[in-house]
Amino acid sequence: MATEALGDERPALFLRNATGLVRGWNVRDSLIYAVLSTNFVTLGLFTFTYAGPSFPTGQLLTSVVISAILVSFLVVAYTGLITTIPRAGGDYVWQTRILGSGVGFVFAVTGWWFILWLWAPIYGNILAIQFFEPLWATLGSPSGAAWFGTDNGIFVVSLITIVLAGVLVSIGMAGYARIQKWCIYGGLLGFAVIVVLLLRPWGLFGSPALRRV
């Protein structure tokens, strides 16, 4: 009976019964996350409209090409790790399996600490520039829009970003996967509206009055 029960047991996907770790996302969820986290509108628009003018004598396009070449090696490395160790946990699992529990824990945890310190003010600045400032300007409050560009404004928006990120992390991988689906649907709809507006004759070539001139 024990042999039959063991033979009838179905192996779980990417799971060892000793660890209890299950990969909570499928390929589509990972793709949506990658598109949202490294999309052209958020990071590309921010880089070319804000970071670019901050370094007027820099070679922005050259730096983008060099960075793309270097990051390609990172992509290959991550692809190999995902294929070899397709487990939930990401960097933590990979580093603790390869380097050992103690060394892997130090590298993984400190890496996340520095990442969070780095990205909180960056995304706070992006949120202020691309959301709060245009929103307040549209509502007819130029002074309110300008406040979000000050040190205090960016600090407050960074705190908002931290709270929002904490809420999203607290709901777990499965819960966030559902939220990001609605986010990408809304983003694609908004992008489609922008494309339609740009394809209109007065969006591409100016107003009809300007075209007559």
Residues 81 and 106 in one domain: no
Confidence grade of residue 14 (pLDDT, cut at 50, 70, 90):
very low
Flag whether 25 is in a domain. Answer: no
Flag whether 164 is in a domain. Answer: yes
Structural domain containing residue 162: 100-170
Lowest mean pLDDT segment, chosen from 25-34, 85-94, 121-130, 179-188: 85-94
Q: Give the 3-state secondary structure of residue 60.
A: helix
Domain boundary among 54, 88, 122: 88
| pLDDT tens by residue, 158-209 | 999 889 888 887 887 788 888 888 988 988 898 888 888 877 755 554 555 4
Flag whether 145 is in a domain. Answer: yes
Residues 125 and 182 in one domain: no
CA distance 197 to 202: 9
Indicate the DSSP class of residue 9: P
Flag whether 47 is in a domain. Answer: no
Answering whether pTM is above 0.75, one says: no
pLDDT at 23: 61
Confidence grade of residue 124 (pLDDT, cut at 50, 70, 90):
confident
pLDDT at 159: 92
Residues 185 and 145 in one domain: no
* Number of domains composing the chain: 3
Flag whether 179 is in a domain. Answer: yes
CB-facing half-sphere around the CA of 73: CA atoms within 13 A: 4
| pLDDT tens by residue, 37-67 | 777 767 777 777 776 777 777 787 888 889 8
CA angle (39 as vertex; 123, 36 as ends), nearest 5: 75
The answer to whether 124 and 132 are in contact (CB under 8 A) is no
Residues 117 and 166 in one domain: yes
Flag whether 183 is in a domain. Answer: yes
Flag whether 51 is in a domain. Answer: no
Select from 85, 84, 75 the least CA-distant residue to 21: 85
The answer to whether 126 and 46 are in contact (CB under 8 A) is yes
Domain boundary among 88, 123, 143: 88
Number of residues assigned to the chain: 213
pLDDT at 202: 59
| pLDDT tens by residue, 66-90 | 988 998 898 888 888 777 777 766 7
